[in-house]
Amino acid sequence: MSGEARRYSVRTHVEVQLAYLHGSPTPGTGICQVCFGACRPSSARCVPCAEIDYQAGRMAADLVVPITYRKGSGGQHSQNLRMYKQEPHNRTARRNLTALFAYFCLHHISCVKAAADVDRFTHVCFVPSTKNPSQDVHPLEETLGDKVRSLRGIRLSVNQQVPSESRSFHKDWFEAGVLPAQGSETDVLLLDDTWVTGARAQSAAYCLKQAGARKVVMLVLARQINPDYGHSKPLVERISKVPYEMDSCAFHLSDMIPAPRSP
Ligand SMILES: [Zn+2]
Ligand SMILES: [Zn+2]
């Protein structure tokens, strides 16, 4: 397949999902500046992000980038995010998530790199499953690995002393395997499917920073929204009305760079 035909195909596979994808993450009042979840209108961050910042500080991820939202547990996007793991042969779920990720990277990785002050990512890491720590390859890596094959992989191992269902940040939840040489520039693209509290993802980011990573940028397929949380209401209403905007992102360059002036 030619490059142009492949790009067309990726776009088509995202377009067919627009009917059920919710509005794109964008900054605003009542939106956490870190994770784009809901927070009190008077706060800059949600409670879990504020707690993690207190514990991890600069050792947390430099930027958190959710591609979409996941509202509650219903809907086709939620189903894709469940099915790609539970039914590895469910090609539709994997194809949809891969297309969403690939299209986002093609069109917005420059926005993400500019926002994070990263010239180029050198490494990729997938947040390991804490429920299946013996799993050789995470299903997300099986699904997206081909799209990030130009980056060197970093594997994290799971400290099984930490309860697998914990919703808290743990500095010692993960251990880095093969580390890049000291002093070499290591800017890591850290990938996960769903962000709930960020505890697991930020524990992984902390581990990577401790291991010598200069920057860690967290890219997640979906920011989970709990519609029952009181402060979620405005966000839930907005993302229910506004469709997913595939040609923009939370850090879109056209919003950050002034338009060139005519001479
Ligand atoms: Zn947050
Ligand atoms: Zn963008």
Measured in residues, the chain has a length of 263
In a domain, 260, yes or no: no
The residues, ordered by sequence, that sit 6+ positions from 256 with a Cβ below 8 Å of its Cβ are: 111, 114, 115
Q: What is the value of pTM for the model shown?
A: 0.92
Number of domains comprising the chain = 1
In whole angstroms, what is the distance from residue 19 CA to residue 9 CA?
17
In a domain, 254, yes or no: no
89 Cα: distance to centroid of ligand 1 (angstroms): 33
88 Cα: distance to centroid of ligand 2 (angstroms): 30
Pick from 134-138, 140-144, 193-197: least confident: 134-138
- Model confidence at 7, pLDDT cuts 50, 70, 90, reads low
169 Cα: distance to centroid of ligand 1 (angstroms): 13
State residue 263's pLDDT score. Answer: 39
26 Cα: distance to centroid of ligand 1 (angstroms): 13
147 Cα: distance to centroid of ligand 1 (angstroms): 27
Instruction: Please state, in angstroms and as integers, the Cα–Cα distance from residue 80 to each residue in 98, 186, 194, 222, following that order.
Output: 11, 32, 11, 11
Do β-strands 156-158 and 174-176 pair in parallel, antiparallel, or remain unpaired? Answer: antiparallel
In a domain, 93, yes or no: yes
254 Cα: distance to centroid of ligand 2 (angstroms): 8
What residues make up the domain containing 52?
3-241
Taking a 5 Å cut-off on Cβ, the residues next to ion ligand 1 are 32, 34-35, 37, 46, 49
Residue 110: pLDDT over 90: yes
In a domain, 146, yes or no: yes
State residue 257's pLDDT score. Answer: 47
Reported as a single tens digit per residue, the pLDDT across 165-193 is 999 999 999 999 656 665 678 999 999 99
In a domain, 147, yes or no: yes
The residues, ordered by sequence, that sit 6+ positions from 139 with a Cβ below 8 Å of its Cβ are: 84, 85, 88
Phi, psi of 18 (to 5 degrees): -60, -25
Note the ligand closest to the C-alpha atom of 245.
Answer: 2
DSSP-assigned states of every residue in 37-72:
-B--TT-SS-HHHHHHHHHHGGGS-SEEEEEEEEET
In a domain, 250, yes or no: no
Mean pLDDT over residues 63-92, rounded? Answer: 91
In a domain, 247, yes or no: no
In a domain, 255, yes or no: no
- Model confidence at 15, pLDDT cuts 50, 70, 90, reads very high
Mean pLDDT over residues 51-70, rounded? Answer: 96
More confident: 63 or 230: 63
State residue 261's pLDDT score. Answer: 45
Residue 101: pLDDT over 50: yes
Mean pLDDT over residues 193-221, rounded? Answer: 96
Contact 124, 151 (CB under 8 A): yes
